[in-house]
Chains A and B, each alone.
Chain A
Amino acid sequence: MNVFAGRIDFIRQAQVAARLGAVLPRAAVLHRSEDTRPYECDGLSAYRQLPMVVALPADEAQVQAVLRICHELQVPVVARGAGTGLSGGALPMGDGVLLSLAKMKKILAVDPVARIARVQPGVRNAAISEAAAPYGLYYAPDPSSQIACTIGGNVAENSGGVHCVKYGLTVHNVMRVRGLTAAGDLVEFGSEAPDAPGYDLLALAIGSEGMLAVTTEVSVRLIPKPETACCIMASFDDVEKAGNAVADVIGAGIIPAGLEMMDRPATHAVEQFVHAGYDLEAAALLLCESDGTPEEVREEVARMSEVLRASGATGIRVSQNETERLKFWAGRKAAFPAVGRISPDYYCMDGTIPRRRLGEILHFIAAMEIKYGLRCPNVFHAGDGNLHPLILFDANKPDELARTEAFAGEVLEKCVEVGGTITGEHGVGIEKINQMCTQFAPAELALFRGVKTAFDPEGLLNPGKNIPTLHRCAEYGRMHLKGGTAAAQQPHAGLPRF
């Protein structure tokens, strides 16, 4: 575990708490350690740090007041939604204010005609679709933690989901973000029109990990709920064949609503846990979903089945009803809790690769399992090449942690080497900050820092995350592969993931 030794300056703490107490209700400013403890980490619990002060504003005016005071006192601010993020993006600072936006959870408007929902940042992802459901509409991005994670967090991380192969990521579904800069200036990125004048600052703000502005309001696009959906479960006797089948489906001109893959160790772990009826003989399973009108789905399922058979599927099952479809998915969505049952700890990776390199990466991971003597079941968002290999380890055996870190480092660097990225959807945060030095050259990192400075010249919003300093990269060069850490004892352990 990485407990940050950021010591809290109690005089400073009293000063900041007093100033914030003048603009927020008494109960909305926390500084005693028993009150701030719940905020010491996000979903990446291996990193913990008590914040100096926690502020819980209830509206935009209060957020602005907090930011203005922090700007005046030059106190760093870390914004946080539900804290389900997996890369430590909401890790607090011992000399900073943790700005929780959880109280701002109003759905301000649902316009069923324009198909737009306007919401506060603390609204849960799933709550938007629930509010839109009476109109036959929904918000498409569905990160597996959608019952808990907030739209503000989704904007910060550009969250995906199992259906983003067809419906896109947060950046494709958010129309407008209203927020405040570190100085407390009100800014609006994007609009409820198809575009906005000037540079596309909306694209820049989405996925910026809370480093450019604090989100206070979001307009999202709602789309009509597909009339029906159907899922194919295809078995393969070889993981590489399954990987090639993914390319074949897409190469045949089909964009499935979801295209997921699990290898045998993953299906075995899941089956014991949820009894989804998975084929335990198969070396790999593909879940391939079609949605749309009943006619469309019938046509697409027939075409997909044909391609999968030609690609060497040894078995194909098509969900016969909604209950069976959800059962197929229940296994996939429970992969992480299931793996949590068979191993004391696990470390999840998030690399993305070009789909055609899937087979190669799978063989590489298999070789790493032997090299490091650790098991690594694999679940993938195969349709978009986003890998979530899970290295199983026991943190109580110290050498296993070190081996896990080295294993993960090699896999992420391999992802970069084949033309991919160190993070497809979980973000850099604090967790992968060293690997940023592998993926980007010094001039690129310098430009990122310039972007940060354009929005936040004093570097007060979430400093130290996402973009490493050159100094840090130099250190990492020496420490190579020792900078990572592993996730032990996930909070929200029962929450569906990825």
Chain B
Amino acid sequence: MDAVLEQWSQVVRSATEGRRPLRIRGSGSKDFYGNATAGELLDTRGHAGIVDYESSELVVTARAGTPLAELESALAQKGQMLAFEPPHFGASATVGGMLAAGLSGPRRQSAGPLRDFVLGMQLMDGRGDILNFGGRVMKNVAGYDVSRLLAGSLGTLGLILEASLKTLPLPVMEATLRFELPEDRAVETLNRWGGQPLPVSASAWHGDELHVRLSGAAAAVTAALGRLGGEQLSADRARPFWSGLREQRHPFFQNSMPLWRLAVPSTAPPRVFEVLPGSRLLEWGGGLRWIATHADARVVRDVAAKAGGHATLFRAADKSCGSFHPLPPEMMMLHRRLKATFDPQGIFNPGRLYPDL
């Protein structure tokens, strides 16, 4: 076994024996996300590097401590990308943090979420054992899909050591259009376009401005530009717009109010959110509504649930209400039992996802 892994295995075994919690962390770029957790620091950056990358396989395998920027630049050199466009939230964000947080960026609208691109993972469980699930192939139905389960689990199930991810070619052409229209018409328009064979890869509405990114074959993007109208942004304005949105540098996010992330059906009408005073930014064709509001957590969660979705308190000074939407009792029971299977003594990031996980 690799020396670092050998050492971690001892750390994990002794933590389990002594029931002492571990706080798994890469660069800390996503420390703000989820609930606070205490425990002895386990820094994943000691286990870094791209293990295997064959662009014709559309698969890259990287260790948890690999800087996300390094991975993305290796892919870009071969004309490929992580299609879910993960937010970094910090210059030295790691692959492990990206996987544990499970967050996706603007292109999620067309490409799908991070978990769709997870092909396999290697993890260390609470017993200090190294386990492999999934693989480096596109199709694999042997056993339960444990590697996708780990995506977004915030390190509460195990220590992610390595992952194999599906990559995709960079689009041949991209173009960004800007439209002026109110929120209800933006929701209506985005859903209508979603039902048509258009190469829309990202969208954002805020302050009566709708930005739409088109990505794909040159012929498809050119044809769509002709059809949709609007004002086309130059590339040097478009690129920072989308990266600013992904990294939450957009002016909307420069706000001292608590930031809520509501995932809802894309057709949810804007009026249902109007009971929450504050400002809104919409992404993913209507599926994601960011709301900066001082409204009571129970009210926000009630609004999200009534719209058919859920609400996460994404950034806030006070997260005492819990970052994540409460689960029904039967679902919470499944979560507890799964946690106990992976991590019998509850040493990995306790409380980061839910207080009793």
- The residues of A with any CB-CB pair to B shorter than 8 Å are 111-116, 135-137, 157-158, 160, 164-165, 168-169, 171-172, 181, 185-188, 191-201, 203-204, 206-208, 212, 224-227, 247-248, 250-251, 253-255, 292-293, 295-296, 298-300, 352-356, 381, 383-386, 419-428, 432, 436, 439-441, 443-445, 447-448, 450-455, 466-467
Complex A-B: 19 CB contacts under 8 Å: A113-B267, A136-B195, A157-B141, A199-B335, A200-B148, A204-B145, A296-B216, A296-B220, A296-B223, A299-B217, A352-B139, A384-B137, A421-B142, A425-B139, A443-B125, A444-B131, A447-B146, A453-B341, A454-B341
- From A207, A293, A385, A455, contact of B219 by CB (8 A): A293
Interface presence of B288 (CB below 8 A): yes
Known contacts: A168-B116, A250-B58, A253-B170. The answer to whether A451 contacts B341 by CB under 8 A is yes
CB <8 Å contact, B263 and A193: yes
Known contacts: A194-B287, A444-B132, A453-B337. The answer to whether A385 contacts B169 by CB under 8 A is no
Residue in A192, A200, A254 with the greatest tally of chain B CB atoms within 10 Å: A200
Q: How far is the CB of A43 from chain B (nearest CB, A)?
A: 15
CA distance A254 to B334 in the complex (A): 41
Among B22-30, B239-247, B323-331, the stretch that binds chain A is: B323-331
- The residues of B with any CB-CB pair to A shorter than 8 Å are 54-59, 79-80, 102, 108, 112-113, 115-116, 125, 127, 129, 131-133, 135-146, 148-149, 151-153, 157, 168-170, 172, 191-192, 194-198, 216-220, 222-223, 263-267, 284, 287-288, 308-310, 312, 324-327, 330-331, 334-335, 337-338, 340-342, 353-354
Q: How far is the CB of A309 from chain B (nearest CB, A)?
A: 17
With a cutoff of 8 Å between Cβ atoms, the chain B residues found around residue A204 in the complex are 144-146, 148-149
CB <8 Å contact, B143 and A454: no
Q: Please give 10 more A-B residue pairs, beta carbons under 8 A apart, in addition to A292-B216, A424-B137, A424-B141.
A: A172-B116, A191-B310, A193-B263, A198-B327, A203-B145, A204-B148, A292-B220, A386-B138, A451-B338, A454-B338
Known contacts: A112-B195, A193-B263, A194-B113. The answer to whether A200 contacts B137 by CB under 8 A is no
Q: Which 6 A-B residue pairings sit nearest by Cβ, starting from the closest?
A: A450-B341, A295-B219, A203-B148, A253-B169, A251-B56, A193-B309
CA distance A24 to B327 in the complex (A): 32
**Which of chain A's residues has its CB closest to B336's CB?**
A454
CB <8 Å contact, A439 and B142: yes
With a cutoff of 8 Å between Cβ atoms, the chain A residues found around residue B112 in the complex are 168, 172
CA distance A249 to B26 in the complex (A): 37
CA distance A356 to B54 in the complex (A): 9
CA distance A313 to B324 in the complex (A): 55
CB <8 Å contact, A158 and B145: yes
CB <8 Å contact, B116 and A196: no
**Which of chain B's residues has its CB closest to A447's CB?**
B131
CB <8 Å contact, A200 and B191: no
With a cutoff of 8 Å between Cβ atoms, the chain B residues found around residue A225 in the complex are 197
- From A186, A197, A226, A428, contact of B142 by CB (8 A): A428
CA distance A247 to B335 in the complex (A): 41
CA distance A300 to B131 in the complex (A): 41
